[in-house]
Structure 1
Amino acid sequence: MSDDAVPAEATFNRVMLKISGEALMGDQGFGLHPPTIERIAKEVQTVHDMGVEICMVIGGGNVFRGLSGAAQGMERTTADYMGMLATVMNALAMQSALEGLGVFTRVISAIRMDEVAEPYIRRRAVRHLEKKRVCIFAAGTGNPYFTTDTAATLRANEMACEAIFMGKNGVDGIYDKDPAEHDDAVRFDEITYDEVLAKRLKVMDASAIALARDNNLPLIVFPLDEPGGFKGILAGRGTYTKVR
């Protein structure tokens, strides 16, 4: 990547955007809400237009959550694979929305399904990013017992991303307690990964946090439902929490 590929206002050249599957369902409580998907796609487009190279990982909780299935008596490995398939559905929906906006996109699956997505090959994925294609990594890590948080952190490291951006609905960062339940909740402007683990803050799962910490990969938690928030933070503005 050349230094002049990204406008001066962009603080990162290549980033990972992690969002939950629930972010795609809008107010309907389940499944996919096309207007919400289009709104998120437009947020991604504004950052793409800055010249930033974008990776994405989307959870599958709006369709099926493996851990919940296992809690209801389903065999855990089977439930996790079902959850991985849900992430592929979400990735395809986001791809459709982005390409409708003129943003070239590749869905890259950790589980082979050549008719609908590319298999994960690291060097090929890097080349897509260099060609300014948004890479949506689906099917988690391809292994049960790992969350999409861990998948996002793993792919961010493999793709040499400079930060993980975690978009949240209804919250503008990390708090010491749930702000929806506690009026005295305090937001952190910056916090360390060790503090996140010690305080048991529900940001990412412990495996993802350890992987990010051990590779010095910063995490930025920001409000996904704030128009222009993703672009604003990349330009050095906005409200967020940085974990390092």
Structure 2
Amino acid sequence: MKYHRVLLKLSGEFMSGNGFGIQPEATKALAQEIKKAHDLGVQIAIVVGGGNFWRGAKQGVGMDRASADYIGMLGTIMNALALQDALEFVGVPTRVQTALTIQQVAEPYIRRRALRHLEKGRIVIFGGGTGNPYVTTDSGAALRALEINAEVALYAKNKVDGVYEADPLKNPTAKKYDVLSYMEVLNLGLEVMDKTAISLCMDNAMPIVVFDMFSDGALERIIRGEHVGTLIHV
């Protein structure tokens, strides 16, 4: 295997089947894909978004930004608990750690405890973002990847198999990039993730792979060392 510890960033839409809330069948399908990779022996940590419940830029219009962001953090925790349930249903030991303290349902985020879980073969799901408003889950994923000493940050997409010059679902002729530098992403204004996440990875030489989660065995293939999706690095 090329990678032995990875951070997987998932959007909330994976939990809903591109709808609203949590759809059990969509969540189970996601858990099966993650299980296949986990069975290779790789250590996996996950950051999940909350867009299937709440998008502050839309639902939070007219609200205090910090309040809207905290609501979004709660949505990510709901997704983390649902994904934990689905993973454990297929036999994968899992722990949820949250940046907001909700001890009745999850552990508080403690870096050393997270590392210990990973070493014991448990998947660790980080909910609640970073616990701070004005910070996206994209940036939270980059931060957690660095904190746990992941070898790569994997940003999963749905129906899009990498980084394109324009939205390929709207523009079928858009060019796909196989490899990009961090600066190219920033200079070209590619909206693959927020600029803070890119800058954080660039400053710490954390490679990023953007890929289609449900493309035939994509997650397993990346971990084995195959080129899948778009690689962003120095």
Shorter-normalised TM-score: what interval?
Answer: over 0.9
TM-score (norm 1): 0.93
Gaps of 5+ in 1: 1-9
Q: Map Cα deviations across residues 85-112 of structure 1 (whole Å, 9 max, x no partner).
A: 0000000000000001111100000010
Q: 1:61 aligns with which of 48, 51, 55?
A: 51
Q: Are 1:26 and 2:17 counterparts? A: yes
Counterpart code for 1:36: A
- In the TM superposition, residue 21 of structure 1 has moved relative to its aligned partner by 0.4
Q: 2:98 aligns with which of 95, 100, 109?
A: 109
Q: Map Cα deviations across residues 43-69 of structure 1 (whole Å, 9 max, x no partner).
A: 111111111000000000000122323
Closer, same or farther: CA 194–238 of 1 in aligned 2, 3 Å: closer
Distance 2:170 2:36 in 1: 33
Distance 2:228 2:117 in 1: 31
Which residue of structure 1 aligns with residue 200 of structure 2? 211
Q: Which moved more, 1:38-47 or 1:135-144?
A: 38-47
- Paired residues in the alignment total 233
Distance 2:178 2:206 in 1: 17
- Aligned ranges 1:84-95 → 2 under 5 Å: 84-95=73-84
- Aligned ranges 1:163-178 → 2 under 5 Å: 163-178=152-167
- In the TM superposition, residue 139 of structure 1 has moved relative to its aligned partner by 0.2
Aligned residues with identical type, % of pairs: 49
- In the TM superposition, residue 180 of structure 1 has moved relative to its aligned partner by 1.4
- In the TM superposition, residue 212 of structure 1 has moved relative to its aligned partner by 0.5
Q: Are 1:148 and 2:132 counterparts? A: no
Look up the SS of the partner of 1:233 in the other structure.
Answer: helix
Asked if structure 2 preserves the Cα contact closer than 8 Å seen for 1:67 and 1:80, the reply is no
- In the TM superposition, residue 228 of structure 1 has moved relative to its aligned partner by 1.5
Distance 2:111 2:27 in 1: 27
Q: Are 1:16 and 2:7 counterparts? A: yes
TM-score (norm 2): 0.97
Distance 2:114 2:56 in 1: 27
Look up the SS of the partner of 1:136 in the other structure.
Answer: strand
Q: Map Cα deviations across residues 124-173 of structure 1 (whole Å, 9 max, x no partner).
A: 11111100110000000000000000110000000000001111011110
Q: 2:109 aligns with which of 120, 136, 140?
A: 120
- In the TM superposition, residue 225 of structure 1 has moved relative to its aligned partner by 2.0
After TM superposition, where is structure 1 displaced by more than 6 Å over at least 4 residues in a row? none
Asked if structure 2 preserves the Cα contact closer than 8 Å seen for 1:107 and 1:138, the reply is yes
Gaps of 5+ in 2: none
Asked if structure 2 preserves the Cα contact closer than 8 Å seen for 1:13 and 1:162, the reply is yes
Counterpart code for 2:161: D
